[in-house]
Structure 1
Amino acid sequence: MLSSKNRMRLSADFSTTVRSGARSGRRNLVLYAVPTALDQPSTFGFIVSKAVGNAVTRNLVKRRLREIAVHSLRAYPQGLSVVVRALPPAANADFCALSNDYRKTFAAATSKFRAAPPAAEQRGPAE
């Protein structure tokens, strides 16, 4: 279970992560990840709209995604902000399918910002 310090709750945090994060998608979900300060705990947020299904289905999908996110938290306990948007096919996906999609999207999104050079290196040497 995700602890309260690792849950994203503010709308501004969701917006920042979705707009500036590295994005990766699969059939059941889209994941956005952005690095944060290394001294801050990693946070996870979940977006499950009514297009996914009724309240029971949406809550089931959220519970599954939260449980899957705990494994990512072990690898990245600090310095990461993640938003997971469930797509309508997630309503019919089993835990294994969601887990596979999550793992692949998480790896793809985190590799995008790990591979990018820091901003100072992108600008070149100071003149």
Structure 2
Amino acid sequence: MLSGQNRMRSSADFSTTVRSGARSGRRNLVLYAAPAPQRPTVFGFIVSKAVGNAVTRNLVKRRLREIAALSLAEHPEGLAVVVRALPAAATADFAGLGSDYRKAFSAAVARLRPARRLEEAGTEKGPDE
């Protein structure tokens, strides 16, 4: 389960991550990941009424939270992640949802790596300074 420090709660955080993050879509979900330097990794979930009734939406959210908690071991800090469930997530089983999440997460993080290297290179001082 995700702890309180790893949950995204502010709508501004959701907006920033979705607008500036690397996007990766799959059949059941769309994942956005943005760098959040020197902060614990945070996850936010968007599950609209298009996914289904309240029972179905909550089931999808619980599954996504559990899957996200497993990926927290790989990236304990430095990321802001928003997962938007698509209507197909309502009929997906745990394994299918997990597979889509892992593929989308890997692709989004891979897209962020070049940006992280540029940020790190820009903060290092050259021999002339």
TM-score for the superposition, normalised by structure 2: 0.90
Partner letter of residue 64 of structure 1? R
**Deviation above 6 Å: which 4+ runs of structure 1?**
none
Q: Which residue of 1 aligns with 2:125?
A: none
Q: Which residue of 2 aligns with 1:22?
A: 22
Between Structure 1 and Structure 2, the one with more strand by share is 2
Cα root mean square deviation, aligned: 1.6
Count of residue pairs the alignment pairs up: 122
Distance 2:102 2:119 in 1: 27
Q: Which residue of 2 aligns with 1:81?
A: 80
Write out aligned runs for 1:1-127 (5 A): 1-38=1-38, 40-116=39-115, 117-119=117-119
Structure 1 residues 27 and 72: alpha-carbon distance in aligned structure 2, compared to 1, 3 A threshold:
same
TM-score for the superposition, normalised by structure 1: 0.91
Structure 1 residues 107 and 120: alpha-carbon distance in aligned structure 2, compared to 1, 3 A threshold:
closer
Structure 1 residues 4 and 23: alpha-carbon distance in aligned structure 2, compared to 1, 3 A threshold:
same
Distance 1:48 1:2 in 2: 17
Q: CA shift at 1:46, angstroms? A: 0.2
Give a deviation string over 1:7-52, Cα, whole Å, max 9, x none.
Answer: 00000000000000000000000000011122x1110000000000
Q: CA shift at 1:107, angstroms? A: 0.1
Q: Percent identity?
A: 70
